[in-house]
């Protein structure tokens, strides 16, 4: 059934585990995430990013309604999350569509602006029943300059600033920069576990890891033990999907029925989902 993201992440954090959150782009992604979570018999989060909405001709609702229907029909708890949002209009549409949570992404802004816009988004989200995640990376902007992208390989979240930021914004969860970076196609990231420990020790909200596709299994498991309670995965599903399609079409150059290659792609994603849930559930 459809479940509240905050409840799922809170329950995982309480037992020092994590909920895996997968970015979905197509209906096959949605079906694979639900089937993979059912195979693992664990809760999961389906997330749609603002970038994915852009790909869908700017429309959230077709994919969002499919995600709502998939969650409602699932044998496990499924949270629905709008990921990396900068648009206030999209925030409103997600709340209307039945999403339980959003990640408001102001990490590109200088610290003071990040804080102010995130605070406004969190206030609006809370008034409208949303659990709100935000991100703090390497904070620049003291000299008026924009900060590094929070998931640039060298970016790190400062524990003192993180504490002030969580208090100042009122967010429900914090995405931290501890060594992962987005869209890696090799699992070669190594995380700063000491920093993670300091962040987790100083904050009373669950921590979120982005860019988890590039993090090896043992590092992911250690990050969860160190305080990560939501593990965001996007690229790993696309690798599974695209590799399966490429292999199928190479072996069957005469194929034309899209169900044939989308079907093997979906099965490959199901395996990736259930394996990753096994690594992070704790």
Q: Which listed residue (65, 183, 188, 202) binds ligand G3H by CB under 6 A?
A: 183
Q: Where does this chain touch Zn ion (CB under 5 A) — which range of 51-59, 110-118, 205-213, 272-280?
A: 205-213
Establish if 210 lies at the interface with Zn ion (CB under 5 A): yes
Establish if 182 lies at the interface with ligand G3H (CB under 6 A): yes
Smaller CB separation from Zn ion, 210 or 281: 210
> Binds 42, which of ligand G3H, Zn ion, none (CB < 5 to 8 A, cut-off by type)?
none
Other CB atoms within 10 Å distance of the CB of residue 128: 13
> Binds 147, which of Zn ion, ligand G3H, none (CB < 5 to 8 A, cut-off by type)?
none
Burial 192-229 (b: 16+ CB within 10 A, else e): bbebbebbbeebebbbbbbbbbbbeeebbbebbbbbbb
Asked if 91 and 82 count as a contact pair (C-beta separation under 8 A), the reply is yes
Nearest Cα to Cα of residue 45 among 73, 76, 16: 76
* Range 24-27, long-range pairs (CB < 8 A, 24+ positions): 24/48, 24/52, 24/63, 24/67, 24/237, 25/52, 25/55, 25/63, 25/238, 27/63, 27/66
Q: How many residues bind ligand G3H (CB under 6 A)?
A: 16
Catalytic site positions: 83
Smaller CB separation from ligand G3H, 156 or 210: 210
Establish if 235 lies at the interface with ligand G3H (CB under 6 A): yes
Q: Which helix (H) or strand (E) holds 82?
A: strand 78-85
Q: Where does this chain touch Zn ion (CB under 5 A) — which range of 26-34, 164-172, 191-199, 208-216?
A: 208-216
Smaller CB separation from ligand G3H, 260 or 275: 275
What 8-state DSSP symbol labels residue 219? Answer: H
Q: What is the rounded CA–CA span in Å between residue 278 and residue 120? A: 36
Provide the terminal-to-terminal Cα distance of the chain, rounded to the nearest Å: 22
Smaller CB separation from ligand G3H, 210 or 281: 210
Establish if 232 lies at the interface with ligand G3H (CB under 6 A): yes
Smaller CB separation from ligand G3H, 77 or 105: 105
Establish if 23 lies at the interface with ligand G3H (CB under 6 A): yes
Q: Which residues make up the interface to ligand G3H (CB under 6 A)?
A: 23, 83-84, 182-184, 210-214, 232-236
Can you give the binding site for Zn ion, defined by CB under 5 A?
210
């Amino acid at each position: 059934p459809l479940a509240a993201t905050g409840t799922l992440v809170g329950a995982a954090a309480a037992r020092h585990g994590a909920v895996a959150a997968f970015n979905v782009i197509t209906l096959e992604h949605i079906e694979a995430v639900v089937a993979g979570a059912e195979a693992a018999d664990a809760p999961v989060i389906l997330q749609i990013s603002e970038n994915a909405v852009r790909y869908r001709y700017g429309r959230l609702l077709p994919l969002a309604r499919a995600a709502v229907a998939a969650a409602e029909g699932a044998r496990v708890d499924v949270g629905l999350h709008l990921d990396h949002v900068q648009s206030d209009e999209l925030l409103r549409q997600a709340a209307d569509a039945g999403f339980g949570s959003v990640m408001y992404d102001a990490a590109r802004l200088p610290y003071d602006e990040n804080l102010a816009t995130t605070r406004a988004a969190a206030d609006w989200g809370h008034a409208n029943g949303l659990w709100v995640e935000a991100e703090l990376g390497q904070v620049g902007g003291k000299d008026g300059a924009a900060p590094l992208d929070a998931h640039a390989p060298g970016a790190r979240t400062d524990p003192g600033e993180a504490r002030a930021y969580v208090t100042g914004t009122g967010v429900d969860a914090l995405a931290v920069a501890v060594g992962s970076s987005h869209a890696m196609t090799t699992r070669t990231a190594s995380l700063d576990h000491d920093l993670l420990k300091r962040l987790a020790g100083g904050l009373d909200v669950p921590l979120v890891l982005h860019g988890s596709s590039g993090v090896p299994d043992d590092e992911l498991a250690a990050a969860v033990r160190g305080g990560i309670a939501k593990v965001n995965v996007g690229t790993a599903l696309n690798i599974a999907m695209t590799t399966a399609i490429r292999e199928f079409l190479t072996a069957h150059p005469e194929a034309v029925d899209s169900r044939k290659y989308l079907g093997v792609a979906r099965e490959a994603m199901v395996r990736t989902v259930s394996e990753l849930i096994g690594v992070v559930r704790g």
